[in-house]
């Protein structure tokens, strides 16, 4: 059987000082954020994943969003160079955690990329060109991943922080998408489920093997997923959403 691993990190006590790009700063209930994160980790375990939970980084507000620090593929891992300079110290502990499992490559300056901007579908790697990820990083990824047979394609994103704020995979060949934030023509050959127009942030879902984790705070889009035959496991991540976080942000999921 396939062994799945998820690396997570506890919510920092300084989460209220997180980076924000599109949202206004509003109070974050630390204890509620931690309870919801515990539930998220429990959901991963319920799906059979081995959860490696790292301790909090008290001085690094965004450190719970481990996805942004690395890009995990079957053959290797790429340690990113986050677009927000305040987040670059997060890399050291993630590097140490991944070293036993993957050969590691590094994005070098002037490249910047957040893992939240990277959507991997089979051998296709889509990278959002956002305020956090630039062309230098994409060119480096193309060079690093070509020997493994991956194609790397830049995808324009507008109106949201990351590519995976706008689109994620929810089933084989099927993407959940907010067409106001990203153009579906960037993903040839894919089928789409569009988010309900009243739920603009509803495109982020976490696919683990054949299982999907989704948030209950988007009922109209959830109904569209169910109509397509998808029955997700529901996990509320609404507190960390105030920090521009989402379901994929809070774990690095890979085959061990």
pLDDT in tens, 142-185: 999 999 999 999 999 999 999 999 999 999 999 999 999 999 99
CB contact at 8 A, 68 and 80? yes
Sheet of strand 206-208, all strands in order from the earlier edge strand to the far edge = 206-208, 211-214, 233-234
Residue 223's Cβ-count burial label (10 Å; 0-12, 13-18, 19+) is: exposed
Alpha helices in the chain, H assignment, sequence order: 30-46, 91-98, 135-145, 163-166, 219-227, 238-241
- Residues in contact with 25: Cβ distance below 8 Å, sequence separation at least 6, in sequence order: none
Local confidence band at 223 (pLDDT 50, 70, 90 cut-offs): very high
Sheet of strand 104-106, all strands in order from the earlier edge strand to the far edge = 70-72, 77-79, 104-106
Domain ranges across the chain:
4-255
CB atoms within 10 A of CB 194: 16
Q: Supply the residues annotated as catalytic.
A: 162, 249
Q: Mind listing the pLDDT tens digit for each residue in 57-76?
A: 999 999 999 999 999 999 99
Q: Which CATH class is domain 4-255?
A: alpha beta
Local confidence band at 201 (pLDDT 50, 70, 90 cut-offs): very high
- Residues in contact with 253: Cβ distance below 8 Å, sequence separation at least 6, in sequence order: 4, 5, 6, 44, 49, 72, 206, 208
Place of tokens 């023509």: 185
Residue 2 has a pLDDT of 83
> Which runs of E-coded beta strand occur in 40-182?
50-54, 70-72, 77-79, 104-106, 118-121, 124-129, 151-156, 167-171, 174-177
Place of tokens 């924000």: 20
pLDDT at position 1 over 80: no
Report percent pLDDT > 70 for the chain.
Answer: 100
């Amino acid at each position: 059987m396939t062994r799945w691993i998820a690396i997570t990190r506890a919510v920092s006590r300084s989460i209220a000082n997180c980076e924000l790009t599109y949202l206004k700063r509003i109070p974050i209930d630390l204890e509620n954020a931690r309870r919801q994160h515990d539930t998220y980790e429990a959901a991963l375990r319920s799906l059979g994943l081995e959860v490696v939970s790292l301790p909090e980084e008290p001085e690094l507000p965004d450190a719970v969003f481990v996805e942004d620090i690395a890009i995990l593929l079957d053959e290797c891992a790429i340690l990113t160079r986050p677009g927000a300079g305040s987040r670059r110290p997060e890399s050291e502990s993630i590097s140490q955690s991944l070293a036993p499992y993957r050969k590691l490559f590094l994005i070098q300056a002037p490249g910047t990329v957040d893992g939240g901007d990277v959507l991997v579908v089979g051998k296709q790697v889509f990278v959002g060109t956002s305020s956090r990820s630039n062309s230098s990083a994409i060119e480096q990824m193309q060079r690093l991943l070509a020997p493994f047979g991956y194609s790397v394609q830049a995808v324009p994103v507008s109106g949201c922080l990351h590519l995976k704020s706008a689109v994620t995979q929810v089933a084989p060949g099927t993407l959940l998408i907010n067409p106001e934030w990203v153009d579906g023509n960037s993903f040839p050959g894919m089928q789409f489920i569009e988010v309900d127009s009243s739920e603009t942030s509803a495109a982020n879902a976490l696919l683990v093997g054949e299982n999907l984790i989704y948030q209950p705070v988007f009922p109209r889009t959830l109904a569209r997923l169910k109509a397509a035959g998808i029955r997700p496991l529901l996990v509320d991540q609404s507190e960390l959403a105030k920090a521009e976080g989402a379901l994929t942000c809070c774990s690095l999921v890979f085959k061990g």
